[in-house]
Amino acid sequence: MHETVLSLSKKEDPKKPVKANSEEQMTSLKVEYRPDGRLWASHNGSESAVRVNRCFPWSEPDRYVSLRDDDENEVVLIVELTDLDADSRAAVEKALIETGFVMEIVNIYSLVEDFEIRSWKVQTAQGERKFQTRLDDWPISLPGGGILIRDVAGDLFYIHDTESLDEQSRKLIWAFVG
């Protein structure tokens, strides 16, 4: 069982979230999109409009998701997405994709080095992207597996498993992961 933070009651100080056993919490926590187009979290009669914020580590994308209100107060810290009911999990996963915080690379079309810049053309789960990295900024191998790449604008790109890439993509990334 995981410890999870929850604070949805207007009576409670949002800076002092209630801690409870996640199994108890997650069974009554509901996360959904409402007609206003916003993501809402509700628990035991209290509710709040929220936005998602993926926490570290990058190597565990289905863990540690913070739901925050408009004032940046953490409303819920979800330790495991699998603790949520199917509809709530789908809503949180959709919100994570929409934030585009980390784009997952599924294919690499080209990788060209030129004048201190490396230009990438890739296919991500979110669509085709072009981005640049500095020549001295190498992809980071994550302890739990996968590779994290930060472009010159600060956006993050993630390769879950290099072996799942097609042959051309593996050849292009090979120099970085050896």
pLDDT in tens, the chain (178 residues): 444 445 443 434 444 443 334 455 556 899 999 998 899 999 888 899 998 888 866 667 778 889 999 888 999 999 888 889 999 998 998 888 677 567 899 999 999 998 899 999 999 988 999 999 999 888 888 766 788 898 888 788 989 888 899 999 999 998 777 5
d(CA 162, CA 172): 11
How many other CB atoms are there within 10 angstroms of residue 158's CB atom?
Answer: 21
| Residues 174 and 147 sit within 8 Å (Cβ to Cβ) | no
Structure tokens at 7: 């604070």
pTM attached to this predicted model? 0.51
Q: Where are the domains of the chain?
A: 3-99, 102-177
d(CA 175, CA 1): 41
Q: What are phi and psi of 177, to 5 degrees?
A: -115, -10
